[in-house]
Structure 1
C-alpha cells in the first residue's frame, strides 16, 4: 500500500477516488463507480468526496 496522495496523472475531477484506489490497491474505476452509486442512492458521498479533496494532499 502506498501513501494517501492525490496524483496529478489519471484524475477525473480532483483525484480523491484515484488516491483511495491507489492506497488500497483496488481499481480506480471500481472506486469511482461506488462513489457515483453512493451519491445516487444516499447523496452523502458528494460531501465525503469534497472532504477528501480538501484533506488529501496533492502530489508535488
Structure 2
C-alpha cells in the first residue's frame, strides 16, 4: 500500500508538494502552482496546513512500503 511521504529527491521548501505529487502520480510543478494559486485567497489556511504537513508527514526515507 502506497503511503504519503515528503520527498527528499524533489524538494524545494520541505518536500510536501513533491510528496503529494508522488502520491497522486502527477507533476510536482502542477502541485506547486496549485498551492500558490490557493495561497492567494486562503493564505492563513494554506500556510497553517503546509506547516502542519511538514511536521505530520514523514520523509520518504522514513516510510517503509508494504
State the TM bucket, normalised to the shorter chain.
Answer: 0.7 to 0.9
Looking at structure 1, the residues matched to 24 and 7 of structure 2 have their Cα atoms a distance apart, in angstroms, of 14
The alignment yields a C-alpha RMSD, in angstroms, of 1.5
Normalized against structure 2, the TM-score is what?
0.79
Aligned length: 60
Gaps of 5+ in 1: none
Q: How far 1:25 moved relative to its partner?
A: 0.9
Deviation at 1:27, TM superposition (A): 1.1
TM-score (norm. length: structure 1): 0.86
